[in-house]
Amino acid sequence: MVAIIDYGAGNLQSVKKALDFIGAKSIITADENEINAASHIILPGVGSFGDAMHSIKEKGLEDVIKKSADGSKHFLGICLGLQLLFESSEESPGVDGLGIFKGKIVTIPKDNGLKVPHIGWNSVSLKQTDGIFEGLRDNSYFYFVHSYYLKDADEDVVAGTTEYGVPIQCAVRQGRVCATQFHPEKSSEAGLTILRNFVNRED
């Protein structure tokens, strides 16, 4: 069973529809017991870093998310769900993230001639080709919607990068804990491959 954590962010239904499409059983939930009982956890997210962390704490979900992302379960963060795994973001100064990984969430520069937010398809250079990335061709295209991005993460956990005026670390993976800045559920067959790999992992 896949638990999609509901902390008040958008994009929950599109993630569930993608899981339904590939035949994976899933539930949208904010119930700690249901999250603990699930073998696979997805932390989605669309919106503000600060608002999301406030909602996570208000709903009493911070501890169960950290526990779910401690490496004991299969965990996938999507978009804002990736950013929340880090310590802080320029979007919300003074707000602590979940601190699962070290790295900076910073603003996409607005002086490079490109539109911000970044909305659209970008190719991803894969640094890892196993786990949830197994079977993907390097430089496959994925769908992005974001104004902030990951920078200076530990190279050992960076699984994919892209370019949008600046180099962007857009996927991370350490053991069973993975996250993508792009939206697998909106990324056609390449995205569905990631979701299939995720839900089928039992190691």
- The catalytic residues are 79, 183, 185
Going by C-alpha positions, the residue among 114, 110, 42 that lies closest to residue 80 is 42
* CA atoms of 168 and 182, how far apart (whole Å): 11
Rounded to whole angstroms, the Cα distance separating 98 from 10 reads: 19
Q: For residue 80, give the H/E element and its range.
A: helix 80-83
Rounded CA gap, 120 and 202, in Å? 32
> Distance between CA 31 and CA 195 in Å, rounded?
23
For residues 24 and 4, the answer to whether their CB atoms sit within 8 Å is no
- Relative to beta strand 177-180, strand 167-174 is antiparallel
Distances in whole angstroms, Cα of residue 134 to Cα of each of 24, 45, 78, 174, 177: 18, 24, 18, 15, 15
Cis ω before 184 (30° cut-off from 0): no
